[in-house]
């Protein structure tokens, strides 16, 4: 029995779309449609012009069909009846129904469970809850287009400060054409009382999605941010090139958790999302901390290296990752820890699970700069193989320019076997429980860093994906 | 309790069991002896439902709720929840899975099936430590990953602990004595004997008579080329120990 993609349905909503293709006019139209300040248009155009000079990177450990960037539609928004929905009742009924199918309650129920949701439907945010409670604390959590209108000085100051518009091919493309995403600012000394979350969902046919997320934790503040993704079944490959920038000032902490389950193509490798993401956090202040936790279980191709620049003295960077590939998926994921400040510490725990005919690579860099006295890093990269046709690779890159650094690196490779599953079954556990126990054991160090509700979801997701691959 | 009728079974296309008959009643301990390749392990795997061991024909009936039911179509976990247990010849390692967590998950799945109350981690910890005390086992390894870095003796004792936790009606012990020194064997046998009752039955598969000094069987069978060729009392095991299998095979 093959588990079909659970969220494979398409919503029919009238779309307000641009024709396919990319040029300066398209960039200008996007900026105009979002009523952006003029500095944004200049920034976008600069990014676009630089992008034209860049080449698509092909150093990752996978191959894919060339992407025709002129065959992509760069803007699609659910049609607005007025200037935008003021409440849930005004949101397109189909949209709300889609979220309900996905189990995302865009309602006051969420308030009771302690999650504020800024739901992104295709490219435009359709509703935001919790706003009031957060406003009282001075927390800004809104679509990035709204932040541009209401807080242009904050956006101008920080956007591109961690991932410059010219950083890499996909980041430059995103900078030119991003349509929406989330903005979050936590004022000094505030501990955000709820876990902020965004659900992304690619919907419109042949529409690339270019999200941009910017999170700033001011001095002494704390925020935990959750990102979860699902997308409907598609035959065409869909490009996704998101950028996430995190900035933590003195004594601030940002925890960023992701569960990614985009359509990965069918078992012969047809279709599926191309996921080229640039995620980077800057520990700008002393004693600041940024934690990335990711559970990557979807997309035909994953190219993603959530990184930390540890500039502040005593700052801490963490990367916890579970990447699962099955069928013919390809994942090339890992992190960069750039130690600049003194007494900076970083931890990398990466768990790769490959099954069927998939390829799963860990690619990580630890760099200790000359001034980073007494920096420490601990890296652990474990791979688990399910079956005999998959592969797992580890590409560590360690650059040390300061002799006081202490680094540890551990790596293992193991296999989940039919014998393990039979052993557990012979003790009364059904196949799903058996696989779950083994996978949980393998991924424990990562799952325990996830918020509880996400951990449960992540375990279920991995079980579902591996059910047919074992035994 | 268990009635095997004219069982033919194969692994990877090779037929190993060729018309095996065996009847086990509650309260009995059956020993199955036989030379290498006679089909002893295959029998244990077919009874417990290993997916690679395929029954070609015949019946394996097991008493469930007072009725004899052919269990050949049942999943291994269904059989386990109905009270069939296999002590593995080569227990499997489960990296990252704490022994206590594994035992509790297993215990609760059986309880759930029978509509009994499940145990939380704290109650279970008390329960498991009590079991280990009775079995004269060191409790330090219940926090370690299942069978990982266990010695051969520890692995076998862990099997008996699992048996004690699940309290099966039918336990199949597949060469539990292999790789054990005499002291470990005594501890294992002690644990097994504690679990003997009028309600339970056991099938003890072994190469050697030695284990049967400690676990006294009611009935001894000799398996050869996929069939039981001789059945007798404990004295049969002694004779095999003394004279080998040749006299049985030739006759």
Cβ atoms of A302 and A273 within 8 Å: the answer is: no
Report phi then psi at A14, rounded to 5. Answer: -65, 130
Report phi then psi at A83, rounded to 5. Answer: -85, 0
Gap from B100 CA to chain A (nearest CA, Å): 12
Query: Domain map of chain B by residue range?
Result: 2-95+152-250
A296 in a structural domain: yes
What's chain B's average pLDDT?
92
- Name which of B45, B77, B146 to mutate to probe chain A: the one with the most chain A Cβ atoms within 10 A of its Cβ: B77
A460 in a structural domain: no
- Residue A34: what pLDDT? 87
- Residue A63: what pLDDT? 86
Whether the predicted pLDDT of A272 surpasses 90? no
Cβ atoms of B29 and B198 within 8 Å: the answer is: no
Verify whether the Cβ–Cβ distance A429 to B105 is below 8 Å.
Answer: yes
Separation CA A442–CA B96 (nearest Å): 5
Verify whether the Cβ–Cβ distance B76 to A422 is below 8 Å.
Answer: yes
Q: Are β-strands B145-146 and A330-339 bridged in parallel, bridged antiparallel, or unpaired?
A: unpaired
| Residue B18 token pair | 């060729």
Cβ atoms of B15 and B226 within 8 Å: the answer is: yes
Q: What is the 3-state secondary structure (H, E, C) of chain B?
A: CEEEEEEEEEECCEEEEEEEEEEECCCCEEEEECCCCCCHHHHHHHHHCCCCEEEEEEEEEEEECCEEEECCCCCHHHHHHCCEEEECCCCCCEEEEEHHHHHHHHHHHHHHHCCCCCCCHHHHHHHHHHHHHHCCCCHHHHHCEECCCCCHHHHHHHHHHHHHHHCCCEEEEECCCCCCCHHHHHHHHHHHHHCCCCCCEEEEECCCCHHHHCCCCCEEEEEECCEEEEEECHHHHHHHHHHCCHHHHHC
Gap from A439 CA to chain B (nearest CA, Å): 9
Separation CA B38–CA B42 (nearest Å): 9
Chain B residues touching chain A at CB-CB below 8 Å: 48-52, 75-77, 79-81, 85-86, 88, 91-98, 101-102, 105-106, 109-110, 113, 145, 162, 166
Verify whether the Cβ–Cβ distance A440 to B97 is below 8 Å.
Answer: yes
Stretch (H or E) spanning A171:
helix A169-177
Q: What is the pLDDT of residues A126-152, one digit of tens each?
A: 445 566 778 899 999 888 888 999 999
A101 in a structural domain: yes
Q: Which residue has the higher pLDDT, A96 or A389?
A: A389
Cβ atoms of A373 and A341 within 8 Å: the answer is: no
**Hey, how many other C-beta atoms are within 10 angstroms of the C-beta on B210?**
15
Separation CA A8–CA B157 (nearest Å): 48
Q: Find the Cα–Cα–Cα–Cα dihedral A286, A451, A379, A403, rounded to 10°.
A: 10
Q: How many domains does chain A have?
A: 1
Nearest-by-Cβ selection for A444 from B50, B75, B96? B96
Separation CA B163–CA B193 (nearest Å): 12
Separation CA A51–CA A167 (nearest Å): 10
Verify whether the Cβ–Cβ distance A440 to B96 is below 8 Å.
Answer: yes
Verify whether the Cβ–Cβ distance B94 to A420 is below 8 Å.
Answer: yes
Whether the predicted pLDDT of A450 surpasses 60? yes
The CATH number fitting domain B2-95+152-250, selected from 3.30.70.1450, 3.40.630.30, 3.40.50.300, 3.30.1490.100: 3.40.50.300
Q: Is residue A402 helix, strand or coil?
A: coil
A26 in a structural domain: yes
Separation CA A243–CA A213 (nearest Å): 6
Count interface pairs A-B at CB distance under 8 A.
81
| Residue B94 token pair | 């489960």
| Residues 6 or more apart in contact with residue B185 via CB below 8 angstroms | B177, B210, B211, B214
The average pLDDT across A448-456 equals 79
Verify whether the Cβ–Cβ distance A420 to B48 is below 8 Å.
Answer: no
Q: What is the pLDDT of residues A22-76, one digit of tens each?
A: 999 999 999 998 889 999 999 999 999 999 999 999 999 888 888 999 988 888 7
Closest CA to A159 of A25, A275, A36, A258: A36
- Residue B177: what pLDDT? 85
What strands, in cross-sheet order, belong to the sheet with B29-33?
B84-87, B170-174, B201-205, B29-33, B219-224, B227-232
Verify whether the Cβ–Cβ distance B52 to A437 is below 8 Å.
Answer: no
The model's pTM is 0.78
Q: Which domain holds residue A19?
A: 15-304
Whether the predicted pLDDT of A17 surpasses 70? yes
Q: What is the pLDDT of residues B79-128, one digit of tens each?
A: 999 999 999 999 999 988 999 999 999 999 999 999 999 999 899 999 99
Q: In this predicted complex, what is the ipTM?
A: 0.95
Verify whether the Cβ–Cβ distance B77 to A419 is below 8 Å.
Answer: no
Separation CA B195–CA A171 (nearest Å): 66
Beta pairing partners, A206: none
| Residue A146 token pair | 């709204």
Helix axes A431-447 and B99-113, enclosed angle (nearest 10): 140
């Amino acid at each position: 029995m093959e588990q079909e993609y659970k969220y494979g349905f398409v919503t029919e909503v009238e779309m307000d779309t641009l024709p396919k293709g990319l040029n300066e006019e398209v960039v200008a139209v996007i900026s105009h449609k979002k009523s952006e300040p003029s500095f944004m248009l200049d920034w976008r155009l600069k990014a676009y012009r630089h992008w034209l000079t860049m080449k698509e990177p092909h150093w990752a450990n996978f191959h894919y069909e060339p992407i025709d960037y002129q065959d992509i539609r760069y803007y699609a928004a659910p049609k607005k009846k007025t200037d935008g929905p003021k409440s849930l009742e005004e949101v397109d009924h189909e949209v709300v129904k889609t979220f309900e199918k996905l189990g995302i309650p865009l309602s006051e129920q969420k308030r009771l469970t302690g999650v504020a949701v800024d739901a992104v439907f295709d490219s435009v945010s359709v509703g935001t809850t919790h706003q009031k409670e957060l406003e009282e604390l001075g927390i800004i959590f809104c679509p990035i287009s709204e932040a541009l209108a209401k807080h242009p000085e904050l956006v101008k100051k920080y956007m591109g400060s961690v991932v410059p518009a010219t950083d890499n091919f996909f980041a430059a493309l995103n900078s030119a054409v991003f349509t929406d995403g989330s903005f979050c600012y936590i004022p000094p000394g505030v501990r955000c009382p709820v876990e902020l979350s965004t659900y992304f969902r690619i919907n419109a046919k042949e529409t690339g999605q270019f999200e941009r997320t910017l999170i700033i934790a001011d001095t002494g503040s704390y925020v935990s941010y959750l990102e979860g993704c699902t997308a409907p079944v598609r035959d065409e490959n869909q490009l996704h090139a998101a950028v996430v920038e995190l900035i933590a000032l003195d004594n601030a902490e940002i925890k960023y958790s992701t569960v990614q389950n985009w359509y990965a193509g069918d078992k012969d490798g047809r279709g599926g999302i191309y996921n080229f993401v640039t995620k980077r956090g800057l520990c700008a202040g002393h004693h600041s901390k940024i934690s990335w936790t990711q559970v990557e279980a979807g997309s035909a191709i994953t190219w993603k290296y959530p990184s930390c620049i540890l500039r502040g003295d005593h700052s801490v960077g963490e990367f916890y990752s579970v990447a699962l590939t099955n069928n013919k998926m390809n994942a090339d994921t890992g992190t960069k820890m750039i130690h600049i400040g003194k007494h900076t510490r970083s931890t990398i725990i990466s768990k790769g699970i490959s099954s069927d005919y998939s390829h799963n690579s860990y690619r990580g860099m630890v760099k200790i700069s000359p001034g980073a006295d007494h920096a420490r890093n601990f890296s652990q990269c474990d791979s688990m193989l399910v079956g005999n046709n998959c592969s797992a690779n580890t590409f560590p890159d360690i650059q040390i320019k300061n002799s006081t650094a202490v680094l540890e690196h551990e790596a293992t490779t193991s296999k989940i076997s039919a014998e393990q599953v039979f052993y557990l079954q012979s003790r009364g556990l059904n196949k799903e429980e058996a696989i779950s126990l083994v996978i949980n054991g393998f991924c424990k160090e990562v799952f325990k860093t996830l918020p509880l509700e996400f951990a449960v979801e992540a375990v279920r997701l991995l079980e579902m994906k591996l059910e047919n691959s074992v035994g | 309790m268990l009635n095997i009728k004219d069982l033919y079974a194969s692994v990877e296309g090779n037929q190993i069991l060729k018309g095996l008959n065996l009847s086990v009643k509650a309260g009995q301990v059956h020993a199955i002896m036989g030379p290498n390749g006679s089909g002893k392990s295959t029998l244990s795997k077919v009874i417990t439902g290993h997916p690679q061991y395929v029954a070609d024909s015949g019946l394996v009936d097991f008493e469930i709720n007072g009725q004899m039911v052919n269990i050949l179509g049942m999943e291994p976990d269904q059989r386990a929840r109905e009270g069939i247990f296999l002590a593995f010849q080569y227990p499997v390692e489960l990296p990252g899975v704490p022994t206590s967590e594994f035992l509790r998950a297993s215990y609760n799945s059986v309880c759930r099936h029978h509509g009994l109350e499940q145990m939380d981690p704290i109650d279970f910890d008390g329960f498991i430590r009590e079991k280990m005390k009775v079995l004269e086992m060191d409790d330090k390894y219940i926090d370690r990953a299942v069978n990982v870095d266990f010695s051969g003796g520890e692995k076998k004792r862990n099997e008996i602990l699992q048996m004690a936790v699940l309290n099966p009606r039918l336990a199949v012990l597949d060469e539990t004595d292999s790789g054990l020194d005499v002291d470990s064997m005594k501890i294992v046998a002690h644990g097994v004997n504690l679990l003997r009752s009028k309600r339970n039955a056991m099938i003890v598969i072994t190469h050697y008579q030695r284990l049967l000094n400690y676990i006294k069987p009611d009935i001894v069978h000799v398996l050869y080329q996929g069939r039981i060729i001789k059945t007798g009392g404990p004295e049969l095991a002694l004779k095999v120990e003394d004279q080998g299998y040749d006299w049985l095979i030739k006759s």
